[in-house]
Amino acid sequence: MGTVGVMGGDERQVYLAKALREQGETVLVSAMEEAPGLGEFPELSPEELAMRCGHGGKVLLPLPVTRDSAALNAPFSKEKVLLDDRMARLFSGCVLYGGMLSGLWRASPLWRENRCFDYYEREELILGNALLTAEGAVGLAIGSMKGSLSGSRCLVAGFGRIGKSLCLALKGLGAQVDCLARSPRDLVLIGGLGITPLAYAQVEKRYDAVFNTVPAPVLGEKILGLQGPDTLLMELASAPGGFDREAADKLGLMVTDAQGLPGRFSPKASADLIRKAVQAIEEENGG
């Protein structure tokens, strides 16, 4: 057991810090001054954290590490933490674990010279995250819809991990589920699950809820024009998302942004997935 730094992030990082301490680690936190429940943890500046963990100590960064490819994703921090060349040099002696590191590389190419591992490349974490996202989407839909999910008409765009998990969750609650996909293989698999497979050009009806999981503009004016004012439109994909926002505005439809649901609805479970993914990376790399 050693010293571990937990820097930035949402409530998942709070639970991660607590779980690591329960394992016997000495946990230091940074860029989390306003996080609930961390009063007993030493709060350090990023500079102090880099110094304390600078001889091969590990630092756990959030998921995603950055949302704008410039600053640390740190909603509980009072100050903006820039992930610039200076910060990359400060953490050069640490072993860094973070989610979706592509934004970190864009913030400064010097981060690539550090020992960094992307825990969001772990299949078990991606799949677990998809299940939690589907669960959160269902919960949000139940709280947002005028009617019941049971018996409702739902459309899911995309049949990746999240789309598949969401289709099964909705079907399990008694919804009538249609799923959009481009791949002939996916269309066959969708039908095999007892869900109605549709190509994008085949949408011809109004739904009670439309969920997008595709990070590309696939739900345009034609599909949106079929929907009504009470149709729930839920965006689950990362930017640019799948809904044509301009078309939705023109039609008087509101899109509910629902990215990052595991961090909002199930941070403890999500933190446990991250902890296990980091542990697996360490074991595979002799840590």
* Beta-sheet strand order (sheet of 176-180): 196-198, 176-180, 153-157, 209-212, 232-235, 255-257
The predicted pLDDT at position 1 comes to 59
pTM of this prediction exceeds 0.85: yes
Domain limits of the chain? 3-121, 125-263
- Check if 3-121 and 125-263 are the same fold: yes
pLDDT at 287 over 80: no
Residue type, 275: R
Which architecture characterizes domain 125-263 according to CATH?
3-Layer(aba) Sandwich (3.40)
Homologous superfamily (CATH) of 3-121 is: NAD(P)-binding Rossmann-like Domain (3.40.50.720)
Q: Is the pLDDT of residue 286 over 80?
A: no
CA distance linking residue 43 with residue 22, whole number of Å: 18
Three-state DSSP state, 61:
coil
Q: What is the pLDDT of residues 126-158, one digit of tens each?
A: 999 999 999 999 999 999 998 899 999 999 999
**Does residue 49 carry a pLDDT above 80?**
yes
- Calculate mean pLDDT across residues 6-15: 96
Report in angstroms the alpha-carbon separations of 184 from 100, 113, 151, 187, 189. 29, 42, 27, 5, 9
Give me the amino acid identity at 82: L
Q: What is the mean pLDDT of residues 206-231?
A: 97
pLDDT in tens, 244-262: 999 999 999 999 999 989 9
